[in-house]
Structure 1
Amino acid sequence: MTHNSRITQGAEEPGHKASMVDKKYDGREHVEERGQWASKVEFLLAVAGNVVGLGNVWRFPYLCYKNGGGAFLVPYLVFATTCGVPLFLLETAVGQYTQEGGITCWRKLCPIAEGIGYGGQLILFYSCMTYIVILAWALLYFVFSFSPQLPWASCDNYWNTDDCVDLTTNNSIPWGNKTNSSSAATEFWERRVLAISTGIEDIGSIRCEVLMCLVAMWIICYFCVWKGVKSTGKVVYFTATFPYVMLIILLIRGLSLPGALQGVVFYLLPDPARLTDPQVWMEAGAQIFFSYSIGVGSLTVLGSYNTYNNNCYKDCLWLCLLNSGTSLTAGFAVFSVLGFMAQEQGVPIAQVAESGPGLAFIAYPQAVAMMPLPQMWSICFFVMLILLGLDTQFVAMEVVMTSITDMFPKVMRLPGRREKFLLLFCVICFLLQLVMVTEGGMYVFQMFDYYACNGACILFLCVFEVLALGWVFGAERVYGIIKDMTKIRPNAFFKICWLYLTPVVSLGTFICSLVEYQPLTFNRWYVYPTWAYSLGWIFALSSILTVPGWALYKLGTESGTLAKRFRRLCQPDLENSMTQNSDSKVEVTGGEQVQLFTTNGISS
């Protein structure tokens, strides 16, 4: 049977892509084809847009300075080498080989591990809920950036308090040393944008301006994704490249400011003593798993739209290098500006360094307010933030949609079905998010982000993913698949990682994250009520329990003895595999089909 005939045959079965546009369904409507990237560039830009996000700008630089400066790069590179790159390649290759989404790919590779796919999609769903709220805040700041005077630059506004300090006119006053003092940027963020309440118990009213920005972002994301990879592949030409233009502009501007050198030195000055702190290693590992977008099925879905012979091996190596390089470069752009701000205020850089929303919506806006032409630099910064977050958001939506579509191809690939279901998905997410745009919404947002999208959940999925693919499906098998697809023999180091290094390092990091767990607090002083912590743990466990839950469900519903059920659920379904090696064959043993591989790939 030829390669093309195998694909056509696979299109007639649930979970396999349709390969005939005119294939009739119920005698009336045709099932649309699954589609592929129009070019290799679209794939590269889509993956780059997905993995290079807000964390590269507002998380990595802060972690680097906090955990020993240049010394932090040692654990970062260790985790990138042993976990990040091997898992990045593994997931992309699996998607390219199976041509399936994040859930149905497991039906071909290791059916008992399908719960990993469900858990990953659940985390992506939670991410879609929180990520776009950040984009709504950034859009609101972008709109305010066109004001004649930036509203966070002065204390002459109705929302300001008597404790507000105008840093643009009192630069010589070390305001951070004043009791109860707050900057104009802080008061704008907390009192004008969020109108933050006293706690999660006090939800308050909806912030209409943030709500309108949220609606706008959902509309933009919908039309970026509504035609699948046909529309996504075109949008990323802009959303994945233009942030780099903005980053370069901000980098040049930052390095030209007085005090920039001190900021850069503070950012990278190595402190080797920190390498003995387990917390430093744990945070380096968490950053790798977050920034490489591994464990949640995104790379599997994006890789599934490649042609079979795409060189995913080389692509993955370059994309990983781009991701880490962007993080490092963003640190120079951020800390050069923070160095300038610290010099202007006459305070240590550590006093102005922030991470997450504190950097994006307080520290950096405060810094640009001190520059000449502050509106222009504010616009550049928030355009960069919006575009960095936008393609991460709509690619996550595309991944979820693809995974659901591949589960129900005969229903979801009917004309107009995808667009309607996507609209329903957006509306449901929007309605669930309404609580996050209230006066108490920031408390809900932080709780959701801390528990539902917790790095420990991703680590847990990665441990079982690499065990399922490296040990059950077989690292030799994966190695042979990559060799057959790319016609390149991958470095044998990847097999060692898939079998030993990656599962051990991932499991160790997961255990450490549980041991070092600290209950969530807000601004270091607000302690959440018990019911909020309980709700957070429910969100966290919802993605973790899908792995054992699905395995137990399948073992309980299959026929035969427990041992036979287990063996059957660990058996890959390679009947419609796309392996093109003419020497490969399937040996039938005991009524089950087994694809044979050697260390050199597929053997006869």
Structure 2
Amino acid sequence: MERPMEKREQWSSKTEFLLTVCGNVVGLGNVWRFPYLCYKNGGGAFLVPYLLYVVVCGLPLFLLETSIGQYTQQGIVTSWRSLCPLAEGVGRAELLILIYDSIIYLVILAWTLFYLVLSFKSQLPWASCGNPWNTDQCMDFTLQNQSASWTLTINTTSAATEFWERRVLSISGGIDEVGSVRWELMLCLLACWAICYFCIWKGIRYSGKVVYFTATFPYVMLLVLLVRGLTLPGAWEGIHFYLYPDPIRLADPQVWMEAGTQVFFSYCVGRGSQTVLGSFNKYNNNCYKDSFWLCLLNGCTSFVAGFAVFSVLGFMAQKQGVSVAMVAESGPGLAFIAFPQAAALMPFPQLWTVCFFFMLLLLGIDTQFVLMEGVITSFTDLFPAILRRPRYREGFVLFYCVSCFLIQLSLITEGGIYVFQLIDYYGCSGACVLFVATFESLAVGWIFGADQMESAIKDMTSQQPCVLFRLCWRYLTPLVSLGSFILHMVDYKPLKFNHWYVYPDWAYALGWAMALSSILLVPLWGIGRICVSTGSLRQRLAVLSQPDDKLPLMWKQKYGNKDGHEMETIVLTGHTLNVAESNTESVQQCSQCKKCNI
């Protein structure tokens, strides 16, 4: 006997949705990327292009993607298929970027878990030289006179740097020298996958409970690190470097490009993850208000994290007798070199490294939950007849986890860091996201219709969106996104590892293949749909530009509302069905409701 399909899930409470989105957008980039970009690109002056990008691109796309998910009650691909079949390639490109993201993100979590475990040792292994992996050029800052001035020369490296490069990664001479798998990292990677699997295997009814801890506790850790950082000597010098405005830098196009990239990266737009999270909302959830508060929280977290980071960097610079500019790092360099080195100079260094790496682990796990749920949900909505049957989801989640784990083994070899940066630089690049975001806003603004999107939001929230959103979806967002994409391409520089290692030609070709796999998917899928459709070109375009008539507003326009009935959508077996709901109580399906005469 064929087993029935399960109903599509919804959040048990609005709090679960808010915490999950918070965990998604407040991630590693808020801690290790935004503060460095702010310092590097004019301090407080960097906030000008950053905030402009938030208003023109970040918030409009955040609201758009959340609303699309809530309106269609579908995953990334099927939501675009329902909204605008011609733009289905946008959803497929976003799904591909999510897969690339989930592959590299968990490797970062494996590194973080490795450092977290070693933080419990009585002697931190990155705090001193004299270990088997250290070289004669190793310098131990914890042994130096505090009043002395130490300057790193080209032949000198810190103990933290050597631990990262020679102990953790055991970096080979190039991407051609794969080397062996780092078994400690493999165990950490396996542990991270096990955590993620058992948190999302049953869907959002499990992961929605986990985020009560994983999305809130990082703020406790951030507060602890902030208070500790501000009480360190040299902290205010670091904060001065972080925020001191340099308006002249605003004349540099690179500053604006990096501000835009950070907004797209931090607000998780152009990837489709917000669409998936919104799809689990009830139809009448006020996603309009939610988007404002969540974007505000994201921006404030990035800003406050900068104080925690640069207060510690200011302390480390004072201890070493150098400028903050010489110790400032971003990305893995900050997390796995600069902060561990700074913590080693503090009293009770184990306490601060445990707090820091536990915070990073929780921030990363939250984001990984959403990346995985985005992929799983999208495939489930594409193949509901198979994946929405009892226990089939668990099997598919296991298959996805094992597949990614096997791929990631190449990223934790001695040459794995080269592969990691290749995927990060090309497959998950800002150029890909900017290109997808351009077509996303064009499809809604001009094909589905910005007015119709406004009507959908009003129908769901009973609030009329600000006219600025209509202007952004039609004009400002696609123009700014396209302009940023063009700047990215014009300013393109081939990837170099550590600023000196040049990849072989085949590696660059592989990188561009990953980048183009998502970029070309957008137009090629639309062209393919046109080619396989019937009728004249005008007729094909007209049909492919029409939204699914089962969507709530389309249903209302087709059948109307009678006797004060209000239409809402529920999801059964992966398809949007329409249900009549009276003002007082729910009644049976509209197709069987005698009052509606449908």
Match of 2:469 in 1: 494
User: How far apart are residue 556 of structure 1 and its match?
Assistant: 1.1
Match of 2:310 in 1: 335
What SS is found at the alignment partner of 1:71? helix
1:146 aligned to 116, 120, 125, which one?
120
User: How far apart are residue 175 of structure 1 and its match?
Assistant: 4.1
**CA deviation map 1:518-575 (0-9, x unaligned):** 1000111111111110100000000111111111111111111122111110111133
1:348 aligned to 315, 323, 345, which one?
323
Match of 2:190 in 1: 215
Match of 2:19 in 1: 45
Structure 2 counterparts to residues 61-460 of structure 1, below 5 A: 61-170=35-144, 171-172=146-147, 174-460=149-435
Match of 2:587 in 1: none
Does structure 1 conserve the Cα–Cα contact (< 8 Å) formed by 2:316 and 2:342? yes
The amino acid that maps onto 1:296 is R
Question: For residues 69 and 159 of structure 1, what CA distance do their matches in structure 2 show?
Answer: 37
The amino acid that maps onto 2:228 is R
User: How far apart are residue 145 of structure 1 and its match?
Assistant: 0.3
User: How far apart are residue 71 of structure 1 and its match?
Assistant: 0.0
Identity value in percent: 63
Change (3 A) 1:59 1:234: same
Question: For residues 576 and 206 of structure 1, what CA distance do their matches in structure 2 show?
Answer: 50
Question: For residues 86 and 558 of structure 2, what CA distance do their matches in structure 1 show?
Answer: 29
The amino acid that maps onto 2:370 is V
Does structure 2 conserve the Cα–Cα contact (< 8 Å) formed by 1:484 and 1:580? no
Match of 2:7 in 1: 33
Match of 1:10 in 2: none
Does structure 2 conserve the Cα–Cα contact (< 8 Å) formed by 1:45 and 1:240? yes
What SS is found at the alignment partner of 1:31? coil
Question: For residues 408 and 578 of structure 1, what CA distance do their matches in structure 2 show?
Answer: 25
**CA deviation map 1:285-337 (0-9, x unaligned):** 00000111011111111001001110000000000001111100100000000
User: How far apart are residue 178 of structure 1 and its match?
Assistant: 2.7
Question: For residues 416 and 154 of structure 2, what CA distance do their matches in structure 1 show?
Answer: 27
Change (3 A) 1:113 1:161: same
Question: For residues 168 and 579 of structure 1, what CA distance do their matches in structure 2 show?
Answer: 68
User: How far apart are residue 585 of structure 1 and its match?
Assistant: 3.8
Match of 1:529 in 2: 504
Question: For residues 62 and 555 of structure 2, what CA distance do their matches in structure 1 show?
Answer: 23
Question: For residues 211 and 578 of structure 1, what CA distance do their matches in structure 2 show?
Answer: 50
- TM value normalised by structure 1: 0.91
Question: For residues 36 and 273 of structure 1, what CA distance do their matches in structure 2 show?
Answer: 49
Match of 1:602 in 2: none
Question: For residues 173 and 425 of structure 1, what CA distance do their matches in structure 2 show?
Answer: 54
Does structure 1 conserve the Cα–Cα contact (< 8 Å) formed by 2:94 and 2:272? yes
Question: For residues 494 and 451 of structure 2, what CA distance do their matches in structure 1 show?
Answer: 42
What SS is found at the alignment partner of 2:338? helix
Unaligned runs of 5+ in 2: 562-598
Question: For residues 94 and 134 of structure 2, what CA distance do their matches in structure 1 show?
Answer: 43
Does structure 1 conserve the Cα–Cα contact (< 8 Å) formed by 2:164 and 2:337? yes
Match of 1:17 in 2: none
Match of 1:510 in 2: 485
Structure 2 counterparts to residues 461-472 of structure 1, below 5 A: 461-472=436-447
Match of 2:457 in 1: 482
1:571 and 2:571 correspond: no
What SS is found at the alignment partner of 2:307? helix
Unaligned runs of 5+ in 1: 1-26, 587-604
Question: For residues 272 and 584 of structure 1, what CA distance do their matches in structure 2 show?
Answer: 57
Question: For residues 369 and 565 of structure 1, what CA distance do their matches in structure 2 show?
Answer: 65
Question: For residues 265 and 489 of structure 1, what CA distance do their matches in structure 2 show?
Answer: 42
Does structure 1 conserve the Cα–Cα contact (< 8 Å) formed by 2:103 and 2:408? yes
Change (3 A) 1:173 1:160: farther
The amino acid that maps onto 2:132 is Y
Question: For residues 585 and 504 of structure 1, what CA distance do their matches in structure 2 show?
Answer: 37
The amino acid that maps onto 1:498 is W
Change (3 A) 1:289 1:419: same
Question: For residues 33 and 208 of structure 2, what CA distance do their matches in structure 1 show?
Answer: 27
User: How far apart are residue 579 of structure 1 and its match?
Assistant: 7.5
Question: For residues 573 and 178 of structure 1, what CA distance do their matches in structure 2 show?
Answer: 64
User: How far apart are residue 156 of structure 1 and its match?
Assistant: 2.0
User: How far apart are residue 584 of structure 1 and its match?
Assistant: 8.1
The amino acid that maps onto 1:54 is L
The amino acid that maps onto 1:135 is L
What SS is found at the alignment partner of 1:103? helix
Change (3 A) 1:585 1:471: farther
Question: For residues 499 and 219 of structure 2, what CA distance do their matches in structure 1 show?
Answer: 34
What SS is found at the alignment partner of 2:549? coil
**CA deviation map 1:355-404 (0-9, x unaligned):** 00000000000000000000010000000000000010111100111011
- RMSD of equivalent CA atoms: 1.4
Question: For residues 554 and 542 of structure 2, what CA distance do their matches in structure 1 show?
Answer: 23
Does structure 1 conserve the Cα–Cα contact (< 8 Å) formed by 2:151 and 2:321? no
The amino acid that maps onto 1:114 is E
The amino acid that maps onto 2:37 is L
Question: For residues 126 and 106 of structure 1, what CA distance do their matches in structure 2 show?
Answer: 20
Does structure 1 conserve the Cα–Cα contact (< 8 Å) formed by 2:118 and 2:125? yes
What SS is found at the alignment partner of 1:29? coil
**CA deviation map 1:217-275 (0-9, x unaligned):** 00001111101111111111111111111000000000010000101111000000001
- TM value normalised by structure 2: 0.92
User: How far apart are residue 578 of structure 1 and its match?
Assistant: 6.3
The amino acid that maps onto 2:68 is V
Change (3 A) 1:493 1:306: same
User: How far apart are residue 172 of structure 1 and its match?
Assistant: 4.7
What SS is found at the alignment partner of 1:168? helix
The amino acid that maps onto 2:22 is A
The amino acid that maps onto 1:288 is V
User: How far apart are residue 510 of structure 1 and its match?
Assistant: 0.6
User: How far apart are residue 132 of structure 1 and its match?
Assistant: 0.4
1:58 and 2:32 correspond: yes
User: How far apart are residue 97 of structure 1 and its match?
Assistant: 0.6
The amino acid that maps onto 2:374 is V
Question: For residues 63 and 576 of structure 1, what CA distance do their matches in structure 2 show?
Answer: 42
The amino acid that maps onto 2:432 is C
The amino acid that maps onto 1:120 is E
The amino acid that maps onto 2:217 is F
**CA deviation map 1:447-498 (0-9, x unaligned):** 1110000010000000000000111000000111111111111111111111
**CA deviation map 1:567-601 (0-9, x unaligned):** 11011113342689799849xxxxxxxxxxxxxxx
Question: For residues 88 and 555 of structure 2, what CA distance do their matches in structure 1 show?
Answer: 26
The amino acid that maps onto 2:470 is K
Does structure 2 conserve the Cα–Cα contact (< 8 Å) formed by 1:68 and 1:269? yes
Change (3 A) 1:57 1:159: same
